[in-house]
Amino acid sequence: MTATIAEPVDVDVAPPLVRPGSRWIPLVRRPLFLIAAFYVVFVLASAFWPKLFTSYGPIDTDPGSVALAPSLDHLFGTDIYGRDLWTRVLYGSPLTIKATLIALGIAVVAGLALGIVSGFFGSITDSILMRFVDVLLAIPGLLLALSIVTALGYGTIPVAVAVGVGIVPGFARTTRAEVLRVKTLPYVEAARAGGASWTRVLLRHILPNSWGPVAVLAVLDAGVAIIAIASLSFLGFGAAPPAAEWGTLIADGRNYLVTSWWLSLLPGLFVALLVLSLNHISKTLQELTR
Amino acid sequence: MKITAPLAVAAAAVMALTACGSGDDASAGGSGNLKVSFWPDNPSFSCIDPFQVYWIEHRSIIRNFADSLTDQDPETGKIVPWLAQSWEISEDGKTYTFKLRDGVTFSNGKKLDAQAVADNAAGWIATVKATNGAAFGASYVQGLTGAKAVDPLTVQFQLSKPNSSFLQATSTTNLAITDPAEFQLSPADRCAGKGVVGSGLFVLDHYTPKVETVLTKRAGYAWGSELVQNKGEAKLDQVTFNYVAEDSVRTGNLISGATDIAWPRNPFTPQDTALIAKSGDKVEKRALPGVAYTLFANTAPGKPLADPAVRQALIKAIDLKTYASTIFGPDYPVVQGAFNSTTPYFKPESAKLAYDLPGAQKLLDEAGWTVGGNGFRAKAGTELKLEYPITQYSAGAELLQAQLKQAGINLELRTLTTAQQATYTTEGAYDLANTYFTRADPGALQFILNPDVANSKALAQRSASAAGVKQIQTLFAKALETTDEKQTGQAYADLQDYLIDEGVTIPLFERVQNAGVSDKVQGFAFTSESFLRLNDVTKG
Amino acid sequence: MARYVLGRIGQAVLVLWAAYTLTFAILYLLPSDPMELQLAAAGVQPDSLSAEQVAAIKHQFGLDQPIWLQYWHHLAGLLRGDFGTSLTQQVPVSQLLADRIGPTLLLSVSAATVALVLGSALAYLATFTRLTFLTRLPALGASFPQFFVALFLIQFFSFQLGWFPATGGLVMPVITIAVLASSVLAQVLIRSFEETLSQPYVTTARAKGLSRSAVHLRHAFRNAALPAMTILGVIVGLTVTSSIVVETVFTREGIGKLAQEAVLSQDVPVVLAVVTVAAAVFVLVNLVVDLLYPLLDPRISHTRPAAASVASVEGVAL
């Protein structure tokens, strides 16, 4: 489906330890970042309170106003059942966001666990776990996801699980690299030498210091997950109708590309903008932490 | 599409880089080469062997490379001579004697004589056995015990009991006559096209599952049925059938000239129909004979649809007219019963299928289903929820859902994996199921509703109460086990009344075969089963 | 050196075997019965068969054996180059692969080539001109779902302009994949460039009076391109994965479409074979890159764990 380069694996670049308040100030001076952040917030808000942004119902069919082009009444036009497409996109948000969060949750938890254990214990454990990650990487992601979805059945949660498993390797490797880096920092060595237990070192030093790059990767992978979820929905594995994830909406519209282009293209742009915004946010954060 | 302009410029630049060296050609073949685009090939059972195929697209292909004993007039449903010049049915309805046309050969030069036909009959029976009854042709040879060659041009089929559908069966692609040598091969090999040799006006060149099927002209063909003008050689050199997944791409290919005939499974959307008309091409349409697109209820005890009143309410709550016009366009025919209108013995039941929302609500109220806070009805704390599985064949399920919601019925759509589909009906969790069967004979419905012969016993048994199933079986027996056409007609009329009165079938839409035909193609024709007939087709 | 090479090859084989086994496990844990699938495909419900018939069919496909035995048979067959028989098409899987690998190979190689050219050009331009717009462009390319790009191309170039066929052509599928692959590549290259350009020796070269374009080309490009080489495996893997959606939309009869169909109909032998082949390609490319890398960049000693070279590229999701 897609691949993203998780850039935060900066084994040799140590982030300067900045005072908490000051690092956020430069963000305000970046208009693109603000727009991106605003868009993400808007999508989140519309997912929770769609009624604020539309007066139609997501499944109200109206055979009298079928396949209308976008207008002020219907921002994204209407679909072949006469449903307002803008409304359907907004009501599709919670499904997609839920799936994305589940996928990220799986990836972060599994990835952190793998990465920490691997980086922390090193040697044989490290080798075995990293080979396992290699295996996950070697199976074409979409095929792995398809198999998982076929095993679990159709729907939002199976799709989320499949996507989550697919992005575990990135998190595992990033975390491991961070752990390896932090482990050798002078003050960690000092703490160890001072008699602190490994658990304490892990909780007090390694986890907090690894968190930054992982969070940046999570934002970036949210975009990847959204595209992956959309692709699986596109292939027909998504939630049962009449609910519709974004990918399903795009897929449903593809039979009307020639006659009613907005059915596919507008939801597609909506998604692409979100992914782009997430990419931008992630990139900006990463630049700031450098 | 103004928004796309800047992107197009960028993409065009990219294309300039890649265009050189690739042999892309956006136009269809020359005038002797016809291109037909189907929807995707059968995902799980790829087959081109006449007797085993149920996939209707492939039956269209078979029609053009293998001939049958008889042909059926699409206008009247009458059976007319083809490979057989005449036939006789014995008084008891158990013996069919066919006089064959002289001089017919298979494309490999072998003679198509009485012995070849008799060997076909033996081959069909053996195939039914070898596939444990799975071969689709099994339903066409009910009661057939064998055949023998009386003389080189006379062949006699023997049935164990009368079967009034049998004569029509001999006109179908499933009982097309092929070189009997194919029956030496395994059913699987034959499905791949090995040994499949017919006497048709085209020769099966090759079948690559999911990719393409190619037919080439048969030199010296001279035995077209009386239903075609050109009884001799085809006017095309080659026909290529390919499989295109995206509906919009198939339609777009027709309009851009990359294909000559776009042949969708579900009818074109009104938008596509308008587009094809605008481009100067033509949409040909004919209702597929046989079972309409209808829902079958799960009437097992405890299920909401066990109550006949709820089934009637369901029928009243569906606005068939709006359904047809919204999904398929304003001039789309409205379904009139369990069968499509092109089925012989068809009896319209329109009055009983009229949209009557207040009537539906009244029936449900009386049955004790009262409207709750969320707009859906409930009885004794149980919501009136109907589970309806949908597949890629389903059209307009969401509109049905919206219509039923008006009556307070919660229609739950379930998307199933191919794996789940295999056992879903048997397990019986459904409330409404859909299946259909294309054949220009009402006997087709037997293979859905009569548990003795049905493809899915489970579906048949649950489709009506025990008494109902019995009544359906009786009516089918009356219609089939006779040679008296009047009795057949009466029994089928009674059956069609019964199916709607009892809510055994809940019709949704008429299945119409559409074909988008390029303006360069002349002489397009449908067979009586709404398959493609290429005898008179030319490409200008 | 020999020990390193042998070890690295051993690792690759191990990864391949594990990928195969993992896929087998997933497919065999599926809550379905291959026999029922087959019967359903042929239009019969299992409930219309007698118990003996069911047993006979199960025996015919070896489904009455315990799972570990089936696994062993599959694996042993694989080592002999026998992928088994397709459940739904009744032909040897190796024949299916042979029939369908051509289009995918052509697509993958073309897409990877175009992506390499486009990605490098974009990265070079972006870092040389220092236009923010250009540096951000790869992110844009990676933000559109591939099926969306494919549909857009079809709508515009096939239906509106009539330049390319919507099905059967090579140009549009290649572009669809290249949009994503070149974006990925450009992102890595740009980052690599930026790091190289901040190196002291670049500053030295500039101070010596070399022009900016000369420095850019002679020093930075060469040094930046090397790390990018490590993601060659990723790019190739990406083109293979992309073929699933792209071949479906453009109706190309390649491995990707075969895989998608096989997963949907749970044609286990076919899925296994495709995964094995795809994983083998991915593993092989990475192996070659890992083995060549120390030769091209003497600064890296071959005693360093191989994973480190790939470590700069992470999170290759679906």
DSSP string over B347-408: ---GGGG---HHHHHHHHHHTT-EE-TTS-EEETTEE-EEEEEE-TT--SHHHHHHHHHHTT
In chain C, the residue whose alpha carbon lies closest to the alpha carbon of B254 is C159
Which residues in chain A are closer than 8 Å to B271, comparing Cβ atoms? 67, 80, 256, 258-260
> DSSP for B16-65?
HHHHTT-----S---TTEEEEEESPPPSS-----TTT---HHHHHHHHTT
On whether ipTM exceeds 0.95, the answer is no
**pLDDT value, residue B53:** 92
Give the containing element (helix H, strand E) for B409.
none
**pLDDT value, residue B16:** 42
Does the pLDDT of residue B211 top 80, yes or no?
yes
Does the pLDDT of residue B529 top 90, yes or no?
yes
Residue C123's closest CA among C107, C139, C134? C134
Query: Inter-chain contact B15–C264, Cβ cutoff 8 Å?
Result: no
Question: A 257-286 residues with CB below 8 A of C?
Answer: 257-258, 261, 264-265, 268, 271-273, 275-276, 279-280, 283
Residue B410's closest CA among B473, B364, B346, B351? B364
Query: Inter-chain contact A137–C316, Cβ cutoff 8 Å?
Result: yes
Centre a 10 Å sphere on the Cβ of residue B91 and count the other Cβ atoms it contains: 7
CA C131: distance to chain centroid?
Answer: 31
C255/C104 Cα distance (integer angstroms): 6
Query: Inter-chain contact A259–B413, Cβ cutoff 8 Å?
Result: no
Q: Give me A74's structure tokens.
A: 């219907």
Query: Inter-chain contact A259–B415, Cβ cutoff 8 Å?
Result: no
A210/A10 Cα distance (integer angstroms): 11
**pLDDT value, residue B6:** 40
pLDDT tens across B355-386, in order? 999 999 999 999 999 998 888 999 988 999 99
- Out of C31, C147, C317, name the one closest to residue A4 (CB): C317
C243/A142 Cα distance (integer angstroms): 10
Of B340-349, B448-457, C81-90, give the lowest mean pLDDT range: C81-90
Please report which confidence band the pLDDT of residue B24 belongs to, taking 50, 70 and 90 as the band edges: very low
Exposure letters A142-168 (e unless 16+ CB within 10 A, then b): bbbbbbbbbbbbbbbebbbbbbbbbbb
In chain B, the residue whose alpha carbon lies closest to the alpha carbon of A242 is B398
Q: Where are the domains of chain C?
A: 2-79, 94-317
Q: Give me B137's structure tokens.
A: 């042709």
3-class secondary structure, C53: helix
Which residues in chain C are closer than 8 Å to A173, comparing Cβ atoms? 311, 314-315
**pLDDT value, residue A7:** 35
- Out of A1, A140, A170, name the one closest to residue C314 (CB): A170
Residue A253's closest CA among A227, A225, A233, A228? A233
pLDDT tens across B453-497, in order? 887 888 999 999 999 999 999 999 999 988 888 999 999 999 999
Please report which confidence band the pLDDT of residue B504 belongs to, taking 50, 70 and 90 as the band edges: very high
DSSP label at residue B136: G
Query: Inter-chain contact A279–C139, Cβ cutoff 8 Å?
Result: yes
In chain C, the residue whose alpha carbon lies closest to the alpha carbon of A164 is C317
- Out of C143, C187, C259, name the one closest to residue A5 (CB): C187
Length of chain A as a residue count:
290
B480/B483 Cα distance (integer angstroms): 8
**pLDDT value, residue A15:** 42
Of A232-246, B58-72, B103-117, C140-154, give the lowest mean pLDDT range: A232-246
3-class secondary structure, C110: helix
**pLDDT value, residue B417:** 67
Report yes or no: A250 at the C interface, CB cutoff 8 Å.
yes
Does the pLDDT of residue B94 top 90, yes or no?
yes
- Out of B275, B392, B417, name the one closest to residue A258 (CB): B275
Which residues in chain B are closer than 8 Å to A154, comparing Cβ atoms? 415-417
Rounded to a whole number, what is the distance in Å from the CA of A195 to chain C's nearest CA?
31
Q: Which CATH class is domain C94-317?
A: mainly alpha
- Out of A135, A227, A280, name the one closest to residue C19 (CB): A135
Selected residue of C17, C26, C133, C143 to mutate for chain A interface (largest A Cβ count, 10 A):
C143
Helices (DSSP H) in C198-302: which residue ranges? 200-207, 212-214, 222-229, 232-250, 255-264, 268-296
Whole-structure pTM value? 0.80
**pLDDT value, residue B393:** 63
Please name the chains neighbouring B, where neighbouring means 3+ C-beta pairs under 8 angstroms. Answer: A, C
Please report which confidence band the pLDDT of residue B155 belongs to, taking 50, 70 and 90 as the band edges: very high
Which residues in chain C are closer than 8 Å to A181, comparing Cβ atoms? none
Selected residue of B47, B210, B438 to mutate for chain C interface (largest C Cβ count, 10 A):
B210
Which residues in chain A are closer than 8 Å to C240, comparing Cβ atoms? 140
- In one-letter notation, the amino acid at residue C198 is S
Residue ranges in chain C modelled with pLDDT below 70: 1, 29-51, 53, 57, 60-62, 216-219, 222, 227-228, 296-318
**pLDDT value, residue C227:** 67
Query: Inter-chain contact A242–B401, Cβ cutoff 8 Å?
Result: yes
**pLDDT value, residue B131:** 81
Residue ranges in chain A modelled with pLDDT below 50: 1-21
Query: Inter-chain contact C45–B255, Cβ cutoff 8 Å?
Result: no
Give the containing element (helix H, strand E) for B207.
strand B202-208
**pLDDT value, residue B79:** 95
3-class secondary structure, C120: helix
Query: Inter-chain contact B390–A80, Cβ cutoff 8 Å?
Result: no
Give Cβ neighbours of residue C220 (< 8 Å, ≥ 6 apart).
C127, C193, C196, C197, C202
**pLDDT value, residue C306:** 35
**pLDDT value, residue B322:** 92
Which residues in chain C are closer than 8 Å to A235, comparing Cβ atoms? 245, 248, 260
